[in-house]
Amino acid sequence: MLNPKTIRADFPLYTEHPHIVYLDSSATALKPKAVLDALDGYYRIYSANVFRGLYGLSERATAEYERSRDVVAHFIGAQSSDTVIFTRNATESLNLLAYSLGNRIIQKGKRVVVSMAEHHANFVPWQQIAMKHGAEFVVVPCDSDGKVELHDDASIDKIVTKDTVLVALFWVSNVLGSVNDIAAITKKIKQKNPNTLVVVDAAQAVTTFPVHVTELGCDFLAFSGHKLFGPTGIGVLWGKKELLEDMEPFMYGGDMIERVSVTESTFAQLPHRFEAGTPHIAGAIGLAAAIEYIAGVGVHNAHQHTQKMIKHALTGLARFKHIRILGSSDPTKRVGLVSFVHDRIHPHDLGDILSKDDVCVRAGHHCAMPLHTHEGIAASTRASTSIYTTTDDIERLLAGIKKAEQILL
């Protein structure tokens, strides 16, 4: 079991703000000193562009950038590092896929499937490409535990047809905290139609579950560095090699070409054909440091700790008669985040009152408007925990809600 008070010593933000109750790690996690040092090291000691200079600094920057790719590949169980594409974030990873692959395969007469609880990043790109080409866009609901209703053969049979070219699903919902059994769903989808591609949005899963892309059986997987204690501006798209090789570049420019003439251009091999222009070198290096940091803590320990915190939160929230939890109230069926609605207090008012006591939560639709509309609400409040969350933090959240009720009801 990890000790969040010891962990806090690794996070300089707590030195600056010793009284802060940071319950918004699902939006972005705090950054450990190891990540800040890695960023600082690049900018201070070997700041140079990659792949371009025949001098020591550039060679070191290139080596560290490519080492970071190896670290990511190992972290997600990818068989080769060239299947790891650095992007800006999960959103860009999914858009890259939608443009480069979706535009080709999502055509009239074909079907693309998402769930009702997708983040807009894994909903809108597929919706827009489907609309553009006149393809069918199917949105599958979630059950009362917040899992996509694709568990059994009957639902798979209905949703996955011979024309279903792609299914894009969250692994962990950023609103419901629910967990899709990706390996089982993928297996069933592939049994029904081996040509259906499965895209996994792992943005909220990478801090909680060990990732092994081969065991998941999916075709593509996307996540952001900043939710994994890494810097903002760096993300990852992993894909099966033969599928990536078959895709058109997403952006054109420097570093992604093989040869350019006035009449034609040919493109670099993987992964560089998808990384046009100067990449976020420091970001990739910082992400590797973040992955090494969380590996030291242990993803399993992180999961156990955040589940303990959310169990505490769920027990406390259950005492408020005006509060409704979105998703399961059973902590074993969710990860360390909880979204809820108060039937008398708007989430923005609650968030505002909490913030006056240094309690940071997220209020709004959390980029999941279809889900909120389906639930008959415009917004909710979300508290999300991490390895540095303490029971004291949860108590201060509960005390803040009580205070808001005293002020507003």
| Helices then strands, each counted (H, E), the chain | 16, 15
- Specify the residue, 115 or 390, whose C-beta has the smaller distance to ligand PLP: 115
Question: Residue 384: which of 400, 369, 406, 366 has the closest Cα?
Answer: 366
Inter-residue contact 224 to 90 (CB < 8 Å): yes
Amino acid found at 22: Y
**Nearest 5°: CA angle at 51, between 46 and 53?**
65
Name the CA radius of gyration of the chain, rounded. 22
How deeply is 350 buried, as exposed, middle or buried, from its count of CB atoms within 10 A (0-12, 13-18, 19+)? buried
User: Segment 329-368, which members bind ligand PLP (CB under 6 A)?
Assistant: 367
287 contacts ligand PLP (rule: CB under 6 A): no
Q: How far is the CB of 199 from ligand PLP (least distance, A)?
A: 11
- Specify the residue, 96 or 404, whose C-beta has the smaller distance to ligand PLP: 96
8 contacts ligand PLP (rule: CB under 6 A): no
User: Segment 24-63, which members bind ligand PLP (CB under 6 A)?
Assistant: none
Q: Select from 62, 68, 89, 115 the one that contacts ligand PLP (CB under 6 A).
A: 89
- Specify the residue, 233 or 316, whose C-beta has the smaller distance to ligand PLP: 233
Beta-carbon contacts of residue 202 (< 8 Å; ≥ 6 apart): 90, 171, 172, 211, 221, 222, 223
Choose the stretch contacting ligand PLP; rule: CB under 6 A; options: 119-127, 273-281, 341-349, 399-407.
119-127
- Specify the residue, 365 or 396, whose C-beta has the smaller distance to ligand PLP: 365
**Nearest 5°: CA angle at 316, between 315 and 321?**
100
Q: Select from 65, 75, 170, 238 the one that contacts ligand PLP (CB under 6 A).
A: 170
174 contacts ligand PLP (rule: CB under 6 A): yes
7 contacts ligand PLP (rule: CB under 6 A): no
180 contacts ligand PLP (rule: CB under 6 A): no
Question: Residue 355: which of 408, 387, 401 has the closest Cα?
Answer: 401
- In the residue annotation, 367 being an active-site residue is answered as yes
Q: How far is the CB of 57 from ligand PLP (least distance, A)?
A: 30
Active-site amino acid positions: 367
